[in-house]
Amino acid sequence: MNYNETIEYINNESKKGSIYGLDTINNFLDKLNRPDSDLNIISIAGTNGKGSTSSFITNILIDAGYKVGTFNSPAVFSFNETFLINGQAASNELCAKYISMVKEEVDKLVKENSKYIPTSFEQQFAAALLMFKNENCDIVILEAGMGGKDDATNSIKDNLVSIITSINYDHTEYLGDTLEKIAENKFGIVRKNLITCKQNRNIMKIFRKAHNLKVCKAPVPQISTLSSQTFLYGSRQYKIQMIGLHQLNNAALAIECAKFLRKKGFKIKYKNITKGLFNTTLPGRIEIINFNGKKVILDGAHNVEAAKALHNCIKALVFDNKTALVFGAFKDKDIDGVLSNIEFFDSPIYIASAPTERGLDLSSLKNICLKYYKNVITNTSISNALKNALDSDAEYIIVFGSFSILSEAKAYIRGNNG
CA distance 146 to 74: 10
What are the residue ranges of helices labelled H in 32-70?
50-63
CA distance 146 to 148: 6
pLDDT > 80? residue 375: yes
Q: What is the mean pLDDT of residues 391-409?
A: 91
In the DSSP assignment, the letter for residue 26 is H
Quick one: angle between helices 23-31 and 92-111, nearest 10?
100
Reading phi first (left if > 0) and then psi (alpha if -120 to 50, else beta), residue 10 is in alpha
CA distance from start to end of the chain = 36
In one letter, which amino acid is 55? Answer: S
SS3 358: coil
CA dihedral of 253, 256, 261, 264, whole degrees rounded to 10:
-140
Q: Please, are residues 243 and 315 in contact by the beta-carbon 8 Å criterion?
A: no
Predicted local confidence at residue 418, as pLDDT: 55
Q: What is the pLDDT of residues 191-248, one digit of tens each?
A: 999 999 999 999 999 999 999 999 999 999 998 887 899 999 999 999 999 988 889 9
Size of the chain, expressed as the number of residues it contains = 418
Mean pLDDT of the chain: 92
pLDDT > 80? residue 176: no
CA distance 294 to 122: 41
pLDDT > 90? residue 377: yes
Buried (b) or exposed (e) across 226-242, using 16+ Cβ within 10 A? eeebbbebeeeebebeb
Prediction pTM value: 0.90
Predicted local confidence at residue 52, as pLDDT: 93
Predicted local confidence at residue 165, as pLDDT: 95
Predicted local confidence at residue 354, as pLDDT: 83
How many alpha carbons lie under 13 Å from residue 282 in its C-beta half-sphere? 31
pLDDT > 70? residue 320: yes
Q: What is the pLDDT of residues 98-119, one digit of tens each?
A: 999 999 999 999 999 989 999 9
Higher pLDDT, 2 or 76: 2
Which of 168, 164, 146 shows the shortest CA–CA distance to 341? 168
Q: What is the mean pLDDT of residues 27-48?
A: 95
Q: What is the pLDDT of residues 263-280, one digit of tens each?
A: 999 999 999 999 999 999
CA distance 121 to 126: 9
Predicted local confidence at residue 237, as pLDDT: 96
In one letter, which amino acid is 205? Answer: K
Predicted local confidence at residue 202, as pLDDT: 94
pLDDT > 90? residue 81: yes
Q: What is the pLDDT of residues 279-300, one digit of tens each?
A: 999 888 889 899 989 999 999 8
CA distance 245 to 61: 23
